[in-house]
Amino acid sequence: MPIRSEDAVIKVRDLVVDFAGRKVLNGVNLDLKRGEILGFVGASGAGKSVLTRTIIGLLPMQQGSIEVLGVELSKASQSERQAVDRRWGVLFQQGALFSSLTSGKNVEFPIREYLRLSPKLTTEIAISKLEMVGLKPDVYRNYPSELSGGMIKRVALARALALDPEILFLDEPTSGLDPISAAEFDHLLLTLQETLGISVFMVTHDLDSLHRTCDRIAVLSEGKIVEAGNMDVMLASQHPWLKEYFHGERAHTDFQVAIKGRRVTEKRA
């Protein structure tokens, strides 16, 4: 089992990102520790997606530093950068599957590009990944347009997991899923953490999911991380937005205390 050391796989320091003069992120400091599932919350428009997209290199930053797996991204060469790309997987909110490829070919795509295995083994691995995320092997031949929303998310997760990444970025993985599928997704995430020891950076609004899966939660508000810690820290926080978020109408706290208990047992099992 991968050791649960306290070293951070992602270190974000004093990050500033602005759009047309407006500072969306203003001095963000954040760590993702090895083997943990970090839930990332914040009001809509607070810049959660901006932070995620900046870390994975889709948006430029103005100031600060981002270190992923020991590589400082702004100073990394092309090849160092590509080496890091191989070690993370990204699940986009809408799946972002290649619509002209079948599910199977979508999962095979990174494997074929990076590992150059025999076609037979590539296919077997792709099917194995699809089965790992709870899909039937036959989904291999379906095009994304023939799949339901939940299945698209699963295929996209299988693609994100294709190279056995060390870090997984998830952008609202349970949005648009029914509660049963969402719970299955949470369970899947815990299994993956357990079996592969991956570190997960998850942007989510799903309170159940936060309770069930996350080791730590970070809260983004007004361009800064205002609170980070486990669920107890969140519930005890005096920050007004957090109070509203975790004690508000939809938080149904006592129900979730029960869920929390269940999560602990699930994790032990």
Tell me which residues touch another protein (CB under 8 A). 1-2, 98-100, 115-118, 121, 124-125, 127-129, 131-132, 137-138, 140-141, 143-146, 161, 163-164, 191, 194-196
Residue number, 137 or 248, with CB nearest to another protein: 137
Q: Is 32 exposed, middle or buried (0-12, 13-18, 19+ CB in 10 A)?
A: buried
Q: Which tokens in the block code for residue 130?
A: 């699809």
State in angstroms the smallest separation of the CB of 143 from another protein: 6
Residue number, 128 or 253, with CB nearest to another protein: 128
**How far apart, in whole angstroms, are the C-alpha atoms of residue 92 and residue 80?**
23
Name the DSSP class of 94.
Answer: T
State in angstroms the smallest separation of the CB of 197 from another protein: 9
Q: Which tokens in the block code for residue 160?
A: 């994100």
Residue number, 1 or 264, with CB nearest to another protein: 1
Residue number, 100 or 253, with CB nearest to another protein: 100
**How far apart, in whole angstroms, are the C-alpha atoms of residue 265 and residue 40?**
23
State in angstroms the smallest separation of the CB of 172 from another protein: 19
Amino acid present at 99: S
Q: How far apart are the first and last CA of the chain?
A: 15
State in angstroms the smallest separation of the CB of 263 from another protein: 18
